[in-house]
Amino acid sequence: AGVPITTDMEFGLASNSKLFTAVAVMKLVDAGILNLNDPLHKWLPPFTNVDSMVTLRQLLNHTSGINDVFTTASQAYIEANPSHVFTTAEVMAYIGTKLFNRGTSYGYSNTNYILAGMIVESATGQSIAKIIRDSLLTPLQLDSTFYDHQETVLGAIAHPWHNGTDGFTISRTALNTLGTCAGSMYSTSGEMAQWYQALFSGQVVSANSLREITTFVSSGNYGFGVLSMQ
């Protein structure tokens, strides 16, 4: 309260984090390591309520039918246990029954991007945070952008306010170890502008990959990690 926002303050990117995950995937597609038609079972073990035939493309454009881990139960648990560190097994246990058969509809689900990040880790043997750092943040000199919980806070985080309450002293651990690469990154407004400019001007991925990223599913106007407002 009473402290003005400055340009060097960092804000939680929430679902803007998904674009970093999607682009990290497409960098691996460009390198021939991943294919958008790869099914989940090629890279990951089976999980309850997850169709192992869902493809990487269906994860990225939310046509997988996989339910969202951010259910009412998980939100309530986060609020009651903000410092809890979620394991992969715990995160996967929150997935409810499928929303629809894969490829038949559109349904926004954070789980899709959590699984996409897990595929990146399986394919590379490195954490998704390190892949994003090494392949995207460092080359673009996004020095104030970071993956929370797995990386050190690089600057001043603006206090999150909700319903008139300053939530800065509440731990972000549970929220960001549940959401992982679907929503746990932080950045400044300037670096986000730099990021979008570099990506959409063709400086980050191949022209084919950029076309894939900006191919929007008509029912949701969703590409890969980016929403069309048209």
Active site residue 209: no
From residue 167, alpha-carbon distances to 76, 125, 157 in Å are: 16, 35, 12
Catalytic residue among 15, 105, 127, 171: 15
Number of other residues whose CB lies within 10 A of the CB of residue 222: 20
DSSP state of 136: I
Place of tokens 């996967």: 92
224 touches 26 (CB < 8 A): yes
Q: d(Cα 128, Cα 191) in Å, to the nearest integer?
A: 20
User: Cα(first)–Cα(last) distance of the chain, in Å?
Assistant: 37
Q: Write down the residue that tokens 């559109």 correspond to.
A: 106
Catalytic center residues: 15
